[in-house]
Each structure stands twice: as structure tokens, then as C-alpha cells.
Amino acid sequence: MSTTTAAAPVRTQSAPAPKHPPGHEPVHNYLLEPGPSPDVRGLARVWPTVKAWVTTVDHKRIGVMYLFAVSFFFAVAGIAALLVRAELMNPGSDFLTADEYNRMFTLHGVMMVFLFIVPSIPGSLGNFVLPIMLGVKDVAFPKLNLASFYVFIAGASIAVYAILSGGIDTGWTFYTPYSDETNTAVLPMTMAVFVAGFASILTGINFIVTIHKMRAPGLTWNRLPLFIWALYAVSIVQVLATPVVGITMILLAMERLLNIGIFDPALGGDPVLFQHFFWFYSHPAVYIMILPAFGVISELMGTFSRQKVFGYRAIALSSVAIAMLGFLVWGHHMFVSGQSPLSSIVFSLITFLIGVPSGIKVLNWVWTMYRGSVWLTTPMLYALSFLFLFTIGGLTGIMVGTLAVDVHLHDTYFVVAHFHYVMMGGTVMAMIGGLFYWWPKMFGRMMSETWGRISAGVVFFGFNMTFFTQFILGSQGMPRRYFTYLPEYHDLHQVSTIGSWFLGLGLLLVLGNMIWSLFKGKPAPGNPWGAATLEWTHATSPPDHHNFHRTPLVTHGPYDYGVLFSGDGYSGDGAGGDGSGGDGSRGPAPIPNPELGAPQEMEKSIDLGLAQPKPSRD
């Protein structure tokens, strides 16, 4: 059965004009189906459309809803960050009081961490791409997936309530005993974190089961795309670590409500215990934040270098190694907190060990370009930005992981700059790169390449101007979370604040580009980048409601770009352990024109008699 006939006994949605390139026309668009039929017009479309979306169990729609939700929180928390920076333009009070400032940076931290960055890549790109990459119709537990989104929204709503009811001024770390005695909205905010944590756990369970049990025929562990490896490692961390922060928040709430002395010294508790509990989750959490970005970067470096990712196995296994070691380094946040020096020494050592796999990854990514054919598209520019910025973030991580040096640098702007280089220079850059990369697949539209490149440049410049100055501020002794500061830090603060405006402008350009493309973007072919993973080779843009009409048959590794262009790409059953399928990968890998797209491999599939999707109930 050809997939392009419209003889199916279901409504077909014609693709939006202008037409997609020949051979790349989507048949059923998941954005429109299930939903009201095309002859329903005007306002009558609204309710059926809304109903179809809020009750969907389609991982793609859930991914899109996650994308909008986390983008919203990124915008709100980003505005808070701009206000924080603006207030720091001069010492003393410009337009915020000290208490307002404290609430503002806490809002920025809590929202960015718990409502944006933890769910960002797994929730949006992960939910959308993972099942298609594996050649499945949907994740293992579709309803659980929708539940995870609603749990996330519930947690986010409680957080918004906490902010509207006066905010919270503890910093995102909620350190006791300050969080025991402050009369701001600690209870709702801790409950928000508690609830949102379940969304993380549900997503993790879903991914683990899907990866283990549902891969398409031929998709061996050695042929898994590295994005999947990264999400697999992340899911393990999410499932194991998140309960700890949930319990910690419950304990804190019990202490505030019932005066049970757990952390509060006035009640016989131990405030340092809270820090242990908190970081036992929150350090693994920083790997929850960065590992998906590693996965995205692997995909980008492969596709845009037209070259197999160098050291496939090293990258795959280092993700898992980082996930495991990530549980054993929490104490490096506490070198000057009163934990025993012996603990500090052990934590410092393991921290250095975890630095090595991250370094291996960076070098592998750089070497992926070696003798490739580097295609400097917007996603690639973001990936290269990532490599540059994340390397700085990683090296300064060695700096703050060193015992004696950390005593000087702890709780200064050096740490702030370090984790922003990792989180924003790492995760956010990778996420934007990934969005530019998968946008055509998600929405069937190309983004503006020119404006994309301009935005990459502005973001890169603004980011460095904002945060590199903070390294110098920090090593000169400027502490974190300061509403005002000594005059000697004035100049660098001004530079940093002006940089934040450039950064904000760059991110606005990205947002504008996305909105523009939804309405005006050129229709995307099924495989604009000539990539070799299943979501590009076997699915249309945007994909059908069920992703595939036949079960895809995987015949080569995820980065064997040559196979697409050399006709017969069967490469035997080679499982060389390098992500390649064996000999079939030896071939040219020309670069396609993104507007016309590269060949797909729809024919490489197994017809299980499912060629005709059943009519879906509205």
C-alpha cells in the first residue's frame, strides 16, 4: 500500500498551501487529527479542537503542550532575571527594595529550575521525538504521559499561586533554618516542587519502559540514536532522585506546620541535614538538566557534519556513567557548610571523576567534524556555541570542585557564572538548537535560516557579556544573592547588566522566528536535513497521528548518512558497536537542500496489515 493514496475511509486533511515538496506530502497531520473535520468552520472549530488537545494521549501533542508550557515559564523567569540584573545596575535600590529583590531572584531560580529546565528537553523534544526515533506509535504508557503533563501543570499552578500570594524569598535552595522562619510562601512553593516532581518521575518511567520494550525491529542498543541514550540515562536519574526532593519538601512542610524538629536548630534539628537531603536530589538534578542536552548535541553534530558521531560507544556509555556517578557528588556543594572535611575530600575526588566523561564527550563531538562536511545551519551554530560555552562551564566546574579554591569561590558570582555556563550555555543552547532542528518535523514548517543565524550570534555575544564578567566578579569576592554591593564591583555589574539585554534580544529573535514560521514558514519536507534516524527517514513532516503506517525496519546505524543516498542501504546485521550498521555506511553523504529534502526510506518497513489506520473516534 502506498502511503500517499487518499482512499482510506477516513477524512484526509489536505496539506496547507503552498504544497510540500513532491514525495514529502504529509498524509495525516497530527496537529489537525483527531479534531473537527475540515468542513467545520469558524468558532465551531474551537471547542472540538480544545477538547481533542486536552484529552489527547498522543505523545506529539503532549510534547507540543509541554513545549508551550516550559516556554512560558522560561519567559516569565527570564523577565525576572532581567529585572534582577537591572536592579544590580547600581548599588543600592533602583526600583526594587531588598525584600522584593530577594523574592525576584528566588522566583527566577525556582521557576527556571523546577518549571523550565528539568522538564524542558525531556518533556518537549523528548516526548515528541523519542517514540518516533524508536519506531513506535507512542510511549509505553500514553495515559501516564498525559497525566505527567497535568501533574506538571498542577505543580506549576501551585507555584504561580505561591508567587501571587506574596512570593518566597529563600532562594531556590530553600535552606533551613531561614526557610523555617521566613513568613513568605514557603509552604505552597515546596508543595509545588513536590507535585511537579511526580511529572518528572512519570516521564522517566515512560521513557525507560519504551526504550527497553518497544524498539523497532533492527534497532539494537548499538544502533540507538545518542539522544535516546541520553534520555535513557536521564530517566534513570529522574526515577531514582526525584523522590528524595519530594520527601525533603514534605519534611520541611511538616516542620513549618507541625513544629517537628528535623532541620531547625531551635527545635533540635540539624540545618546541614537539609543541605544533604536537598543536594542528594539537586545534584543529580543538574545532570537531569544537562544530559538531554548532550543527547541533542550528539544528533546535531552528526547530522550537520555528515559524519558518524565519533566515539559513539564512548558517548553512549559516558551518559550512563555520568548518571551513576552523579549520585555520589552532592557534597561538593557543601565544602564550607560544616560537613566533615573527610566527606569534602571524598566528594571532591568523585567530582573530578565525573568531569572526565563530560570532557570525553566534548572531544568526541569536536572530532565528529573531522573530515566531515560541516553544514553551518542555525542548529549547528547553536551546537558549536554549546561546545564552546559548555567547555568553559566544565572547566570552571573543575575550579569550584577543587577543595581549597572552592573555599574562596563558594557562594560567589563565580559559581553563578559557572552554572549559568552549564545550564544556559549548555542546556538552553542545546534546546534552542534542537528546536531549530526538529521544528520542521514538529510543525511542518521551516524557520527562517537568516534570522536564526543572527539570533545565534546575538545570543552568543549577549550570553558571554552577561556571564563571563561574573567569573571575574566572583573571583574578586562578590557574593551571590546580594541586593547591593561594594563600589569596586560597580563597573563589571554594569557590563553584565547591559549584556543581559543583548541576551534577551537574541532570545526574542528566536521566539519571533518560531511564531513567524508557524504562519509564514516554507512547508518542510520529511527529511530536510538528510538525517538518518527514524523520525526523519520514516515519518512525514508533521508526522501522522500514529507516526508510521508500517512498522519501520532499521537497517543501518543512526548516523549512516551515506546510506540514504546510495540506494540499497542494507548493511547486513553488523553491530559494530560504533553506532554504524557495518559496511553499508561506506558511502557518500551529500547535503540536501532543506527545502527539497533528502530521500526517505518509507519502503524499509514491515507491513503488519496496519497500512490503513483505523478511523479515530472524535
Partner 1 sequence: MEREGTFWLPPQSSTTAHEVDALFYFILVMSVIIQVGVTYYLVKFAWKYRRRSHADRPVDVHPSKWLEISWVVVPTLLVFVVFFWGFKAFVSAGIAPDNAYQIHVVGKKWLWEFEYPDGTTSVGDLYVPVGEPIELIMTSTDVLHSFYVPEFRVKHDAIPNRYTTIWFEVKEEGEYQVLCTEYCGTAHSEMYAKVHAVDRGTFNDWLRTGGGNDNLPLNQLGELLYTKQACNNCHSVDGSSGIGPSWQGLWQAARPGSDEGVADANYIRTSIVNPNAYIVEGYQGAMPAYPNLTDRELNGLVAYIRDINGAWTAADSAAANDSTVVPADTLDVPTPDGDAELAPAD
Minimal distance in Å, beta carbon 392 to partner 1?
Answer: 6
Residue 609's nearest CA partner among 561, 549, 560, 557 is: 549
Q: State which residue, 517 or 585, has the beta carbon closest to partner 1.
A: 585
Q: State which residue, 198 or 483, has the beta carbon closest to partner 1.
A: 483
497 near partner 1, rule: CB under 8 A:
no
Contact 256, 249 (CB under 8 A): no
Contact 482, 84 (CB under 8 A): no
Q: Which of residues 456-475 bind partner 1 (CB under 8 A)?
A: 472, 475
State how far the alpha carbon of 489 is from the alpha carbons of 86, 204, 495, in Å: 15, 43, 11
Question: Which amino acid would we find at residue 266?
Answer: A
Minimal distance in Å, beta carbon 272 to partner 1?
Answer: 7
Could you say which of 272, 317, 320, 495 contacts partner 1 (CB under 8 A)? 272
395 near partner 1, rule: CB under 8 A:
yes
578 near partner 1, rule: CB under 8 A:
yes
Task: List phi, psi (to 5°) of 400.
Answer: -80, -10
Q: Which of residues 88-147 bind partner 1 (CB under 8 A)?
A: 98-99, 102
Q: Which of residues 363-392 bind partner 1 (CB under 8 A)?
A: 363-364, 366-367, 369-376, 384, 387-388, 391-392
Q: State which residue, 106 or 200, has the beta carbon closest to partner 1.
A: 106
The set of cell numbers assigned to 475 is 573571583
221 near partner 1, rule: CB under 8 A:
no
| Residue range at the interface with partner 1 (CB under 8 A); choices 200-208, 306-314, 325-333, 544-552 | 306-314
362 near partner 1, rule: CB under 8 A:
yes
Minimal distance in Å, beta carbon 241 to partner 1?
Answer: 24
| Residue range at the interface with partner 1 (CB under 8 A); choices 61-69, 130-138, 268-276, 531-539 | 268-276
Minimal distance in Å, beta carbon 548 to partner 1?
Answer: 29
| Residue range at the interface with partner 1 (CB under 8 A); choices 71-79, 219-227, 235-243, 394-402 | 394-402
589 near partner 1, rule: CB under 8 A:
yes
| Residue range at the interface with partner 1 (CB under 8 A); choices 234-242, 282-290, 398-406, 456-464 | 398-406
Contact 9, 510 (CB under 8 A): no
Tracing cell 558571554 back to the chain, one arrives at 464
Minimal distance in Å, beta carbon 202 to partner 1?
Answer: 32
Contact 447, 514 (CB under 8 A): yes
- The dihedral region occupied by 462, where left means phi > 0, alpha psi between -120 and 50, and beta the remainder, is alpha
Q: State which residue, 401 or 462, has the beta carbon closest to partner 1.
A: 401
The set of cell numbers assigned to 145 is 504521559
Q: Is 412 helix (H, G, I), strand (E, B) or coil?
A: strand
571 near partner 1, rule: CB under 8 A:
no
| Residue range at the interface with partner 1 (CB under 8 A); choices 140-148, 282-290, 481-489, 516-524 | 481-489
Q: State which residue, 17 or 404, has the beta carbon closest to partner 1.
A: 404
Task: List phi, psi (to 5°) of 523.
Answer: -60, 140
Contact 368, 352 (CB under 8 A): no
Q: State which residue, 61 or 361, has the beta carbon closest to partner 1.
A: 361
Could you say which of 485, 502, 536, 548 contacts partner 1 (CB under 8 A)? 485
47 near partner 1, rule: CB under 8 A:
no
Largest CA distance in the chain: 75
Read out DSSP for 182-250? --SSHHHHHHHHHHHHHHHHHHHHHHHHHHHH-PPTT--GGGS-HHHHHHHHHHHHHHHHHHHHHHHHH
Minimal distance in Å, beta carbon 67 to partner 1?
Answer: 29
Read out DSSP for 254-267? HHHHH---SS-GGG
Distance of CA 394 to the CA centre of its chain: 18
Q: Which of residues 70-99 bind partner 1 (CB under 8 A)?
A: 98-99
Minimal distance in Å, beta carbon 485 to partner 1?
Answer: 7
Q: Which of residues 234-263 bind partner 1 (CB under 8 A)?
A: 261
Strand partners, 272: none
153 near partner 1, rule: CB under 8 A:
no
Handedness of CA 575, 541, 515, 531 (dihedral sign): positive
The set of cell numbers assigned to 182 is 521566613
Q: State which residue, 362 or 505, has the beta carbon closest to partner 1.
A: 362
Report the C-alpha gap between 376 and 395 in whole angstroms. Answer: 26
Q: Is 551 helix (H, G, I), strand (E, B) or coil?
A: strand
Report the C-alpha gap between 366 and 364 in whole angstroms. Answer: 5
Q: State which residue, 138 or 169, has the beta carbon closest to partner 1.
A: 169
Q: Which of residues 407-426 bind partner 1 (CB under 8 A)?
A: 407-408, 410-412
| Residue range at the interface with partner 1 (CB under 8 A); choices 33-41, 201-209, 449-457, 590-598 | 590-598
Contact 244, 277 (CB under 8 A): yes
476 near partner 1, rule: CB under 8 A:
yes
Q: State which residue, 242 or 305, has the beta carbon closest to partner 1.
A: 305
Minimal distance in Å, beta carbon 223 to partner 1?
Answer: 16
Question: Which amino acid would we find at residue 198?
Answer: F
Could you say which of 6, 17, 43, 404 contacts partner 1 (CB under 8 A)? 404
Question: Which amino acid would we find at residue 146?
Answer: L
The 512-551 site mask, x for binding partner 1 (CB under 8 A), equals ----------------------------------------
20 near partner 1, rule: CB under 8 A:
no
Residue 117's nearest CA partner among 207, 205, 196, 226 is: 196
Q: State which residue, 512 or 590, has the beta carbon closest to partner 1.
A: 590
Minimal distance in Å, beta carbon 233 to partner 1?
Answer: 19
Peptide bond into 552 cis (omega under 30): no
| Residue range at the interface with partner 1 (CB under 8 A); choices 22-30, 141-149, 176-184, 230-238 | 176-184
Report the C-alpha gap between 277 and 246 in whole angstroms. Answer: 10
Minimal distance in Å, beta carbon 432 to partner 1?
Answer: 18
Task: List phi, psi (to 5°) of 272.
Answer: -70, -30
Minimal distance in Å, beta carbon 327 to partner 1?
Answer: 19
Report the C-alpha gap between 215 and 224 in whole angstroms. Answer: 9
Residue 119's nearest CA partner among 212, 236, 238 is: 238
Task: List phi, psi (to 5°) of 443.
Answer: -120, 0
How many residues belong to the site for partner 1 (CB under 8 A)? 93
Q: Is 358 helix (H, G, I), strand (E, B) or coil?
A: helix
Q: Which of residues 322-361 bind partner 1 (CB under 8 A)?
A: 335-338, 341, 344-345, 348-349, 352-353, 355-356, 359-360
Range list of H helices, 410-489: 413-422, 429-443, 449-475
